[in-house]
Amino acid sequence: MSPKPTLLHFPKLLLAIGLPAIASQPLLAQQNYPVKPVRLVVASSPGGGPDIVARMVATKLGPALGQQVIVDNKPGAGTMIGSEFVVRSAPDGHTLIMHGAAMIFVPITHKKAPYDAVKDFAPIARIASLPFVLTVHPSVPVKSVKGLVALARAKPDALNYASAGIGSSPHLAMELFLGMAHVRMVHIPYKGTGAGIVDLVAGQVSVMMPNILTALPHIRTNRLRALGVTGSKRAAVLPDIPAIAEAGMAGYEAVQWYGVLAPAGTPKEIIARLNTEIVRVARMPEIRNRLSSDGAEIIGDSPGQFAAFVALETEKWAKVVRAAGIKPQ
């Protein structure tokens, strides 16, 4: 005759009954994802590149997921406010961020950055990338990358260049150029690309590396002269302008990119689902054509490829910052 169960047997009995239910809860949540609207944070103001791309993607991603995707602008502190909000959010796929190169630059150039670009985000997919354009005011007597390097070499610190601020993408792209060319120019930081472009067009500064989206209208109206694009190859919208890498500076590359990330720890199944849907959206003709017309190239990579890209870019730009003597703020 079997002994009667005692109170000592109940914990084991409860454990045996409860474990399958408990273990199935995360799996069930992943299968039902998303269970509420998804927040897509943009760590900058409305109207900028990340915001434009986020809104394009959100419109198509919502129906694909069966939940509304809400774009939430959280600008401030050089994208740190929005970034910190996301890395501190629950890693359940309901809070995402549309980010760009600033995600990598901020921890390198700020002592008290609230996140680690490699450890605190789960990359989902890069949507697109676009190059910067090495541009000069028409009064600068050069018409090629080699001509600019020769002028800067003959007259160290005689030329000045604008950027969107210390540690910004145009700043670090230009510092990489100067370091590889072994020349010096004076840095004039502005509070944003727009302000720098205004003074470049007016001839108050001589050189700048704005992204192609910003520079294109001024290049087409001959208010600025393009010398080279910063991607690994020529841009389709500026076919006559060589890549800096093919214009005497082999290996040079600096691009702006836009991608979606989640907080670290987000389940792989959710990341995979989001990657599939986001890549599909990015390749829709209406989105691909609009981005291409602005000089962007569709990427649509895997989470693993995106993660490897972030790690390599972090290492690359940390070296540029050290070589340029840029002091973390």
Q: What are 43-55's pLDDT values in tens digits?
A: 988 888 889 899 9
* pLDDT score of 7: 41
Q: Is residue 2 scored above 50 in pLDDT?
A: no
Cα angle for residues 317, 318, 320 (degrees, 5° grid): 60
- Placement of tokens 């890693």 in the chain: 91
Kindly give, in sequence order, each residue whose CB lies less than 8 Å from that of residue 10, ignoring residues fewer than 6 positions away. Answer: none
Confidence of residue 213 (pLDDT cuts 50, 70, 90): confident
3-state secondary structure of 138: coil
Residues 41, 47 contacting (CB under 8 angstroms): no
* pLDDT score of 20: 52
Residues 86, 95 contacting (CB under 8 angstroms): yes
pTM of the entire predicted model: 0.83
The reply to whether domains 37-130+255-324 and 133-246 share a CATH topology is yes
User: Which two three-digit tokens encode residue 206?
Assistant: 């001589």
* pLDDT score of 185: 97
The 3-state secondary structure of 142-189 reads: CCCHHHHHHHHHHCCCCCEEEECCCCCHHHHHHHHHHHHHCCCCEEEE
- CATH number listed for the domain at residues 37-130+255-324: 3.40.190.150
User: Which two three-digit tokens encode residue 292?
Assistant: 């291409």
Q: What percent of the chain has pLDDT over 90?
A: 78
Q: What are 170-212's pLDDT values in tens digits?
A: 999 999 999 999 999 999 999 888 889 999 999 999 999 998 9
- CATH number listed for the domain at residues 133-246: 3.40.190.10
3-state secondary structure of 17: helix
Q: What are 266-320's pLDDT values in tens digits?
A: 999 999 999 999 999 999 999 999 999 888 999 999 999 999 999 999 999 999 9
Measured CA distances, 216 to 24, 177, 178, 211 (Å): 53, 20, 23, 9
Residues 212, 295 contacting (CB under 8 angstroms): yes
Q: What is the mean pLDDT of residues 254-259?
A: 95
Q: What are 123-166's pLDDT values in tens digits?
A: 999 999 999 999 999 999 999 999 999 999 999 999 999 998 88
What is the overall mean pLDDT for the chain? 90
Kindly give, in sequence order, each residue whose CB lies less than 8 Å from that of residue 166, ignoring residues fewer than 6 positions away. Answer: 109, 187, 189, 326, 329
Residue spans per domain, the chain: 37-130+255-324, 133-246
Phi, psi of 328 (to 5 degrees): -55, 135
Kindly give, in sequence order, each residue whose CB lies less than 8 Å from that of residue 213, ignoring residues fewer than 6 positions away. Answer: 49, 130, 294, 295, 296
Strand arrangement, sheet containing 160-163 = 186-189, 160-163, 207-208, 133-136, 225-229
Report the range of poorest mean pLDDT among 71-75, 229-233, 290-294, 306-310: 290-294
Strand arrangement, sheet containing 69-73 = 69-73, 38-42, 95-99, 255-263, 121-131, 297-298
Cα angle for residues 152, 241, 309 (degrees, 5° grid): 85
* pLDDT score of 77: 87
More confident residue, 14 or 326: 326
- Name the H helices within the chain: 10-32, 49-65, 80-87, 102-109, 145-154, 169-181, 193-202, 212-220, 268-282, 285-293, 303-324
* pLDDT score of 18: 55
